[in-house]
Amino acid sequence: MELADLKATAQRYDETKADRLAADKLSRNLKTKEDQLHAELCMYCSQQGSGVDLGDVLIEYNTTMKPVAEDWSAIHQYIKDNDAIDLVHRRLTESAVQLRWDDGVTIPGVGDKLVEKIKVIIR
């Protein structure tokens, strides 16, 4: 790649990243507003005990129970006793692994992969 092409690519990268960050911010703002409106609708429907049919608008309302961890020690023991690893997400906490690696600890079953990062500074 020629230097002029490299410069143009770096500038397009920087512009695209800035556009994405602006879109991310807009998305977060919209999500906040969406969550507020959702809470208002849920509060109304909860008070009514059901959804609402407004003719051309139907608001369906239902509830479900979702699990929440309240005692991790008990959960860990249950997982060990019952070989129930499927109860938790199978992903590593990168910072915890990195701390152990920094201390020279090898964790069985944990590998590594190259992650490339780039930072473009437009002056």
For residue 52, the cross-strand partners are 59
Contacts of 17 (CB under 8 A, 6+ apart): 120
pTM comes to 0.69
| Residue 109 covered by a domain | no
List the one residue out of 108, 94, 121 whose CA is nearest residue 11.
121
Give pLDDT tens digits for 55-97.
999 999 999 999 999 999 999 999 999 999 999 998 999 999 9
Is pLDDT above 90 for 122? no
| Residue 123 covered by a domain | no
Q: Fill in the DSSP letter of residue 88.
A: S
| Residue 41 covered by a domain | yes
Rounded Cα–Cα distance for residues 83 and 70 (Å): 20
| Residue 97 covered by a domain | yes
Domain coverage including residue 31: 3-102
Give pLDDT tens digits for 14-28.
999 999 999 999 999
| Residue 120 covered by a domain | no
- Number of domain units in the chain: 1
In this prediction, residue 42 has a pLDDT band, given cuts at 50, 70 and 90, of very high
| Residue 118 covered by a domain | no
The answer to whether the beta carbons of residues 110 and 90 sit under 8 Å apart is no
| Residue 61 covered by a domain | yes
With pLDDT > 90 as the criterion, what percentage of the chain qualifies? 85
